[in-house]
Structure 1
Amino acid sequence: MSEKESPVLKQEQEEDQVPGLEETRNPVRPFQVKSEDEEMNEPARSCDPQSPLQPDPDPEEEVSDSSDTEISENDSNETRVARLDVKIHEGDANVRRCDSNEKPISCSECGETFKKKWDLKIHKVVHTGEKLFCCDVCGTFFLQKANLRLHMVVHSEERPFTCDVCGKRFKRQAYLKSHMVVHTREKPFRCDVCGKRFSLKKILNKHMKVHTKERPFSCDVCGKRFKLKAALNRHMTVHTEERPFSCDVCGKRFKLKAMLKPHMAVHTDERPFSCDVCGKRFKLKYTLNKHMAVHTEVKPFSCDVCGKRFKLKDTLNKHMAVHTEVKPFSCDVCGKRFKLKDTLNKHMAVHTEVKPFSCDVCGKSFKKKGVLKTHMAVHTEVKPFSCDVCGKSFKKKGVLKTHMAVHTEERPFGCDVCGKKFKLKNEVKRHMKIHTEV
C-alpha cells in the first residue's frame, strides 16, 4: 500500500470538491489589467434607468497588491492629469464656483476685485460720483453709507460731547475737537499770500478764496455770484420774508442768527472794543474796524460813474443812489420819498417836537445830531473851509458851497411868479416877499 494519506488532508480535499461551496467563500481574485484594444472594444454602460444596472466596482475592492499589478509612476501621473482635465459645467449646482479667498468680480476702471456685486457697485461711485445713500429726513444724498450715518446726527437733539473747559456741548466729537482751539491762542495755519494766521485748516482753505476772482456759487433768483457756498446760503434769506431769529429782550426778529448776535450788544453798555489811535470804544468789533478808516487817508473804493473815492465800501454803496432817480424809502407821515434809508430816518425828526441834542455852550437844542455838530462852529472862530477862487473862509462847509455860486454866471433858481432867476435858493426866498406884501 502506498503512503497512507492523513485523514485531515483527505477531508480537506473532499471539501474542495463539494459543489456550490465556492459561492460561500470570498476568494481573492487577481486584478487583471486590460490592454488598450480591450478597453476600446468593451461595450459602454447604458445610461438608461430601465436597463439592468451592473454595480460599479468599488475602488477600494479593486485595489490590488503591488505584486499582482505593477503601475509605473508615469502611468500614475497621467491618470491624475486625466482626472483634472475634466470640464466643469457652470450650470451644475453641485459644482463649487470659487474658493472663499478668491475675488472673481473686478472693477473695469481700476481693476480692483470684490467678492460681491454690491461691493463693486458701491466701489464704482468713486469713478462716477453717484450718490446712492439718501437721508430720509432732508433728502440729502451721500457717496458712502458711513457719511449718511454721521449726517443723521444733525437731525437729533442729542449732544453727547462736552467741552471740559466751558461746558459747551456738541453733536460730534469732531466738532468738539475743532472747538478746543478757542481755548488756545495757537494759530498754526498761515496764508502764504497775505500772512494771516488761522486756528483751523478748513478756515484757511476758505480764506484762500478771497485771493481769487472765481465765484462758482450763483443765486438762482437774482444771479448774484459768491465765492463761498455759505455766503450764498446767507444771501438766499433776502428773497424770503421769514425771520426765524428773535431777540429775547425787545422781540426784534432777524433773518440770520449771525445778525441777532451783534444786535444783543444794543441791550448792554459794555464796549469791549477800543481804538488804539484815539481810544474810542465800540460795542462791536465790526464797528471798530469801520472806524479805523478815519485814521487813514487811503480811499480804496471808487465810484465807477463819477470817480469819487471813499474809505468804506458801505459809503460807496450809499453814494451810488445819487446816480439814480429811484427813491424806494417813503415817509409814512408826509409821503416824502428818499433814496437812502438813513436819510428817511433823519427826516422823521421833523414830525416830532423832541429835540434830544443840546449844545453844551448855549443850551440850544436840536432834533438832529448833525445839526448840533454844525451849530458848534458858531462858538469858535475857526474857519476851516476856504474858497479856492477868492480865498474867503467859512465856518461851515454848507456856507462855502453856497458861496461858490458867486463865481459862476449860472442862475438855476427862478421865481414862480415873475420868472426872475437867481444864483442862490435863499435869494429866491427873500425875493418872494415882494409878491406877498399887502
Structure 2
Amino acid sequence: MEVKEESQAEVDEKHQIVKINHNVSPKGTLRTEDIKCENSFSEDERPADHKRTHSEEKPYTCQQCGKSFTFQSNLIQHKKTHSGEKPQACLHCDKSFPDRSQLKEHMKTHTGEKPYTCHLCGKSFGTKPYLKAHMRIHTGEKPHVCHPCGKSFITAAALKKHTITHTGEKPYTCQQCGKSFGRKVNLKAHMMIHTGEKRHVCHQCGKSFTTAGNLKVHARIHTGEKPYTCHLCRKSFSIESNFKVHARIHTGEKPFVCQECGKNFKSASELMIHMRSHTGEKPYTCHQCGKSFSAESYLKIHARIHTGEKPFTCHVCEKFFISQSNLIIHMKVHKAEELHMCLQCGKCFSMKRHLKKHMITHSEKKPHACSKCEKSFVDKRELETHMRRHTGEKPYICLQCEKSYISEKTLKTHMKVHTEGKPFTCQHCGKSFTVKGTLNTHMRIHTR
C-alpha cells in the first residue's frame, strides 16, 4: 500500500500557516505568516511554538508546583520564583525581578509611561495585561470563579485575594508586633507604621501617607470626587470599600460571621468591633476622663461631651445632638405613630427600651444597688454617676473655668452660668440661680 507523503506546503496549510515573501530583509530572509493573527516569523523563530497560543496546549510543566506553560522560556523564568533568584535590579528603587521583561514593565512606574490605552474610556496602562484585565470591566467578563461560593472575578489576583476570606489564611506576619496579613503588600504597608515612613505626600495640605493608594483616596477630600455610585439609591462614595459595605444594605448580605455567637455583619471592621464585646477589649481611651471604648468612632462621639460639640441638628425643632444615631432617635418624637406610650401615666418614648426602663418607676423596682450606702437606682448609669460621690471622681470639666462635675447633666447646668447667667431670681431677697429647682429649694427659707 502506497503511503502518501505530505508536502511542506500541505503541512503549512493544515496548520493555517503559509509562507510568503513578507518585507524581505537585505539578507533575503524568508518569513512565515500566521493567518489567524497575522503575526509573522523568521525561520529560526519556530512558528510551531507560536501555534500553541491559539490552542490550550501547555507542554512545559514545573516539577515543583505542577504549573504548566506554553513556552519553555516561560517555564525557565517561572522556576526562579521557587529559587528566589531575582538578578534584574531596578536602578531607581530597591526592587529586583526574575527576568528583564518584568524589569522593563516595572520601569514604567518610574517614567510614568502608559502606552496601552482603552479605546472605550481612554484610560491608559503601563502593561498589556493590565489593559486586558481592565477591558473586562466593559465586557462584564469574570473568568476566574471561586469554587466554594461561586463568586467570579476579573483577574486571578483578585480571586486569590478573595479565597483568603474562606480559608482565613494570613501567611505574612510582622516580626515586630506579630500581626498577620493575607497579602504581602498589606504587610509591607503595615511595616511603615513601625518605621514611621510616609513617602507619599499630599501637595495640597502636606499630609503624608504610607501608600500611594491611601494618598489617592485622601486627595478626593480636596477634589470632592466620589467615583463609586450606588445604582439603587444614587449615593456616592470616595472609597470603594465603603461603597461595597453600603451595597449590602440593599442586598441584606452579611458575610462576616462571629464564631462566638453566630451574629452576622456587613463588614470585617464591624465584626472586629463586635468581637470586643466577647473579649472585653476597649483599646480607645478618653484622655480627659479615662473612659474606654471598643471602637474609635465611639470615642470620637464621647469626646463631644467634653468639647460640647453637637454637629447634628434636627430640622424640625433645631435641637442639636452629638451623634447621628441620637438625632435619628430624636426624630421619632416628631412622628407620633412611632412613639411608645406608657399606659399608666401617658408619657411617650421614642424607643421601646426607654419605655421599658420607665415602667420600673411605676413598679418601684430599683435593681441597681450601691455597695457603699445601699441606695438603689432604676438605671445602671444612675448608679455609676452616684458612685462618683463616693470616689470623688469628677470627669466632666468646664472648658471655660475648669470646674469639674460628676455628671454631664450637672456640667450642662453649670454651663448656663457662662451662656445665660442666672435667670431664676428670688422675689423676696433678689438672689439668682441657674436652675429653677435650686430656686424652689431656696424659697423654703422664706416660707419657714
TM over 0.5: yes
Q: CA RMSD in A?
A: 4.7
The aligned amino acid for 1:189 is P
Write the deviation string for residues 116-170 of structure 1: whole angstroms up to 9, x where unpaired: xxxx995795597262623251444444555555555545444444455657544
Equivalent in the alignment of 2:218: 291
Aligned to 1:315: 242
What corresponds to 1:270 in structure 2?
197
* Partner Cα separation in structure 2 for residue 331 and residue 104 of structure 1: 68
CA distance in 1, matches of 2:132, 2:221: 32
Q: Does 1:408 align with 2:335?
A: yes
Cα displacement (A) at 1:330: 3.8
Classify the secondary structure of the residue corresponding to 1:403.
Answer: helix
- Give yes or no for the alignment of 1:367 onto 2:295: no
Does residue 135 of the first structure (1) align with residue 40 of the second (2)?
A: no
Kindly report which structure 2 residues correspond to 1:115-126, keeping only aligned pairs within 5 A, or say none. 122=48, 125=51
Shift of 1:316: 3.3
SS in 2 for 1:270: coil
Shift of residue 432, structure 1, vs aligned partner: 1.9
Of 157, 163, 166 in structure 2, the residue corresponding to residue 230 of structure 1 is: 157
Q: Distance in 2 between matches of 1:317 and 1:127?
A: 37
Deviation track 1:45-85 (CA, whole Å, cap 9, x = no partner) reads xxxxxxxxxxxxxxxxxxxxxxxxxxxxxxxxxxxxxxxxx
Task: State which structure, 1 or 2, has the greater radius of gyration over its C-alpha atoms.
Answer: 1
Asked if the contact 1:350–1:367 (Cα under 8 Å) also holds between the matched residues in 2, the reply is no
Matches within 5 A, 1:18-57: none
Distance 1:232 1:186 in 2: 28
1:248 to 166, 175, 190: 175
Specify which of 360, 364, 372 is matched with residue 436 of structure 1.
Answer: 364
The percentage of counterpart residues that share the same residue type is 31
User: Do 2:313 and 2:321's aligned partners in 1 also have CA atoms closer than 8 Å?
Assistant: yes
User: Where in structure 2 are there 5+ consecutive unaligned residues?
Assistant: 20-31, 33-45, 367-448
Task: Work out whether residues 49 and 71 of structure 2, in 8 Å CA contact, stay in contact via their aligned partners in 1.
Answer: no
CA contact (8 A) 1:299 1:312 kept: yes
Deviation at 1:418, TM superposition (A): 7.5
Matching residue's letter, 1:286: G
Deviations 1:166-193 (A, max 9, x none): 57544323334434445x4341526355
Could you say what secondary structure the match of 2:150 adopts?
A: coil
The total of aligned residue pairs comes to 330
Q: For residues 312-334 of structure 1, what are the alpha-carbon distances to aligned partners after superposition, in whole Å with 9 as ceiling and x for unaligned?
A: 332233345556496954485xx
Q: Find the aligned partners of 2:72 and 2:283 in 1 and give their Cα distance.
A: 66
**Match in the other structure for 1:30:** none
Give the Å deviation of 1:260.
Answer: 2.2
What does the per-residue CA deviation read over 1:266-286, in whole Å, with 9 as the maximum and x for residues that have no partner? 323233334444444333333
Shift of 1:206: 4.2
Query: Which residue among 200, 218, 223 is the counterpart of 2:145?
Result: 218
Distance 1:106-1:316 versus aligned 2 partners, 3 A rule: closer
> Which residue identity does 1:185 align to in structure 2?
T
Secondary structure of 1:264 counterpart: helix
SS of 2:178's equivalent in the other structure is coil
Question: Partner residue of 1:189?
Answer: 115
Distance (Å, rounded) in 2 between the aligned partners of 1:325 and 1:422: 35
- Residues in 2 aligned to 1:126 and 1:305: alpha-carbon distance in whole angstroms: 45
Query: What is the TM-score of this pair, normalised by structure 1?
Result: 0.57
Corresponding letter in the other structure for 1:366 = K
Q: Which moved more, 1:225-234 or 1:274-283?
A: 274-283
Greater mean deviation of Cα atoms: 162-171 or 363-372 = 162-171
Map of 1:107 onto structure 2 = 12
d(CA) in 2 for partners of 1:437, 1:210? 63
Task: Please report how far the alpha carbon of residue 410 of structure 1 lies from its aligned counterpart in structure 2 after TM superposition.
Answer: 2.3
Name the structure 1 match of 2:40. none
When residues 169 and 111 of structure 1 are mapped into structure 2, their CA distance, relative to the original with a 3 A threshold, is closer
Tell me the amino acid that sits aligned with residue 365 of structure 1. G
Q: TM-score, normalised by structure 2?
A: 0.56
Is contact 2:60-2:70 (8 Å) kept? no
Inter-partner Cα distance in structure 2 for 1:111 and 1:380? 79
> Structure 2 vs 1, CA of residues 158 and 433 (structure 1 numbering), >3 Å: closer, same or farther?
same
Range with greater deviation from structure 2 (403-412 or 420-429): 420-429
Task: Report the equivalent of 2:377.
Answer: none
Q: By how many angstroms is 1:264 displaced?
A: 1.9
Q: 1: distance between equivalents of 2:328 and 2:10?
A: 86
- Alpha-carbon shift at residue 397 of structure 1 (Å): 3.6
Contact 1:265–1:284 (8 Å) recurs in 2: no
Q: What displacement does 1:228 show?
A: 2.4
Amino acid aligned to 1:436: E
Cα distance 1:430–1:291, how it changes in 2: closer, same or farther (>3 A)? farther
Does the Cα contact within 8 Å between 1:327 and 1:337 map onto a contact in 2? Answer: no
Whether the 8 Å CA contact 1:163–1:180 is kept in 2: the answer is yes
Question: Contact (CA 8 Å) 1:160, 1:171: kept in 2 or not?
Answer: yes
Against the structure 1 CA distance between its residues 380 and 311, is the aligned structure 2 distance closer, same or farther, given a 3 Å change threshold? Answer: same
AA aligned opposite 1:134: Y
Separation in 2, partners of 1:269, 1:124: 50
Secondary structure in structure 1 of the residue aligned to 2:111: coil
8 Å CA contact retained: 1:142, 1:148: yes
* Aligned amino acid, residue 362 of structure 2: I
